[in-house]
Structure formats: structure tokens, C-alpha cells
Amino acid sequence: MIPILDSKRQYAKIGKEIEKEVIEVLASGSYILGKHNKALQSEFSNFVGTKYSVGLNSGTDALHLALRALDIGRGDEVITTAFTFVATASAIGLAGATPVFVDINPDTFTIDANKIEAAITPKTKAIIPVHLYGQAAEMDKIMDIAKRHNLKVVEDCAQAIGAEYDGQKVGSFGDFGCFSFYPTKNLGGMGDGGMITCNDENLYNRVLALRNHGGAIRYYHDELGVNSRLDEIQAAILRVKMPYINEWNEKRRENAYRYNEMFAKYPEILTPQEADNTYCVYHQYTIRIENRDEVHKLLQENGIGAMIYYPVPLHLQKLHKSLGYKEGDLPLTEKDTKMVMSLPMFPEITPEEQQTVVDMVVKCLNMTKQAV
């Protein structure tokens, strides 16, 4: 049995450190907006390379509050990709705005920057690029388009902490960077959590208020806000993990290159591409194959934790029925949705386990071919 992610191996290494910090928080009596939240915010800003960070309940809230802080809402359109987790688009909907989906570059799975301008209308207010699977979107082109059309940029960095484009970390390009600490992410908490990054002091203050019922001063409320704060236990756990993130990302990259080598003799299995000017952190290692659904089923039956991220693109979800998209509108997104499959990937996976995964993928693919 080789799972897609085995969090217990990480815990076996750093569990003692985590337990010590958590017990200290429990005894301290300070559980919300205490010293760990504050310290993590500044450590996070230092890491990403922004002036400010704000700890939140989730990555979804980070995206939602970023749009709220930019005054994006009813009647506004936000351009994004349909090849992502639902939260990217639901944040747009929660803010009251309308998502507009643009097709992907199939080599990188990220939004095709060359197709963004055709989707811009007088109602367009922002672009949300998603650094999917840990690969940075084309931030130079996206920032250039945003500047020329006076649009805001909110980066969905949920899968991409530490990823870089042209040597610069994601989350430091746009007006906001939005991160998730969901346990499966490269920097995962032990519960929900998220972080917003930005460089503008006014936007920073606005998010501080929005996460705390819309007021900077307790019991004085200037606008409609939410309760979305990163709790002290999560912040303490994340502070233990932060110093390891570069090492863990490096291990993921080594593992990805090892998979690439192992798959090299099988040209019918398409391995993920990494653009030259990016530092990909391989939140997922995602291949593309024919007969994907059958292969996936066989792998699961044989104890290989392969996963499909994501089986239905967002423009074809029932949730977005009222937007009026139909099959064929985003052909490259739809094609990849039918072919992608993510394989077990985490820093601690062994080369032997990787070889087992590769052998099983090849075997299962051959089985589906013989069955036809």
C-alpha cells in the first residue's frame, strides 16, 4: 500500500517538537491572535518576500477576503482557470462577483496568459492565476496584462508555497497572495488554516479588519466582516514546520525527477513539464495517460494511492450552471481533465516505493490496452 501522501512519516520526525509547542500553547491560556500568529506572519512575509502577511482560517477565506479588500463584488467579473480546486471560483462567488474561465496551457496546467486578453470586458476587475500542482503561472505576462488593463491580481498559491517564477516567490507578484495550510498542502497544519500576503499597507489593514468582523477596534464595526483568524495551536505547529519547507520542497523535486527518469522509457506516459524559468514545488506529481479511468481504478485495487485532481473542470460543475458554459468551451482544460492522474508524492517517499508505483502504472496501462 503506497498512499498519495503519508503525513505520519513527517510526524515521526518532528512530532516531539510539535508536541512541546502545542502543550505550551495549551498552558498559556492564549488561543486566538497571540504571539505565535504574530511571529508566523512575520516569518511568512520574510519567506515569501512581502511586507505583510495575515493569518486566516483557510485558503478559501484568503481568496475571498482578498477580493473583498479590493472592493470586488456584485456586477464584477474575475478571470481565472477552470482547472483548479473549486475554492478558487467559490471565493469569487462568495464575494458576489462572477468567474470567467480561460483555457490552460496544457504543458504547465496553468492559465494560458495568451488567452486572457480576449476574456476581458468592461466588467473585468481582476485575474486569479492558480499555481497548480506547485507550478508557477506565467506571472510576467499576467502582471503585464493587469497593468495595461488596470486589473488587480490575486494569486492562488494554495499548492505552491516556495514556488518561484523568474527567481521570485509566488505570492509576491500580485496585489495579494493566498495560501492554504490544509493538512495535505506542502506546508500543512493539523487542521484548517490560511495566510494572505501583500505589500500595500492599506490593503493589509483592510484584511486585518475583514478577518475580525470588519473593525480594527474591538466592538466597533466599519463594514461587513467575517471571523477568520489562524488559531494559536495551528500557528505554533506551522512555526515548527516553516524551517523545513525548503528541504521538503527540494525532496519533492528530487522525487519528481526520479519519477521522470523511471517513466522515460514509456513515451505513452506523459510526465509533467517544468518551465525553464520556474521553481516547481511538486505539490502533486501529475502524469497524463490514455484510458485514465480504468488505469486509476486498477491502481487503487492494487494499493497505489493515485488520485484525480480534478475530475470535472469548474465551468462544467453544476454549481456554475447559471454561467452558461457548455462542453467544448475550454477544450484543453477538458482534454487534460480526462487524462490527468496524480501519483504518490511526498518528501519521505522512497525510491523503491516510486519504482513500485511506476511498475504498477505501466502494468495497469498495459492491462487496459489488452482488454480493448
Binding residues (CB under 6 A) for ligand PLP: these are 58-60, 84-85, 87-88, 130, 156, 158-159, 180, 182, 192, 194
> Comparing C-alpha atoms, which of 164, 356, 125 is closest to residue 253?
164
Task: For ligand PLP, give the closer residue by CB, 87 or 306.
Answer: 87
> Whose Cβ is closer to ligand PLP: residue 10's or residue 180's?
180
* Cis preceding linkage at 310, omega within 30: yes
Instruction: Return the SS3 of 156.
Output: strand
Nearest residue to ligand PLP by CB is 59
Q: Min. distance of Cβ 370 from ligand PLP in angstroms?
A: 36
Q: Are 198 and 51 in contact (CB under 8 A)?
A: yes
Distance CA 227, CA 266 (A): 50
Of 72 and 358, nearer to ligand PLP (C-beta) is: 72
Which of 106, 189 has the CB closer to ligand PLP?
A: 189
Q: Which is nearer to ligand PLP, 187 or 269 (CB)?
A: 187
Cβ(159)–Cβ(138) under 8 Å? Answer: no
Cell of 38: 504574530
Q: Which is nearer to ligand PLP, 278 or 354 (CB)?
A: 278
How crowded is residue 319: how many other Cβ atoms within 10 Å of its Cβ? Answer: 13
Tell me the C-alpha distance between 161 and 332, whole Å. 26
Q: With beta carbons less than 8 A apart as the criterion, state whether 283 and 160 touch.
A: yes
Name which of 41 and 368 has its Cβ closer to ligand PLP: 41
CB atoms within 10 A of CB 131: 31
Nearer Cβ to ligand PLP, position 135 or 172?
Answer: 135
Residues in the chain: 372
Q: Which residues contact 80 (CB under 8 A, 6 or more apart)?
A: 88, 89, 92, 99, 100, 101, 102, 111, 127, 128, 129, 130, 156
Nearest distance from C-beta of residue 31 to ligand PLP, angstroms: 20
Q: Nine-digit cell at 279?
A: 521553481
Q: In angstroms, what is the minimal distance from the CB of 199 to ligand PLP?
A: 21
Nearest to ligand PLP of 85, 325 (CB atom): 85
Distant-in-sequence, close-in-space partners of 286: CB < 8 Å, separation ≥ 6: 109, 133, 272, 309, 340, 341, 342, 343
Query: Least distance in Å: CB of 193 to ligand PLP?
Result: 7
Buried b / exposed e along 13-26 (16+ C-beta atoms within 10 A): eeeeebeebbeebe
| Residue 60 CB, nearest approach to ligand PLP (Å) | 3
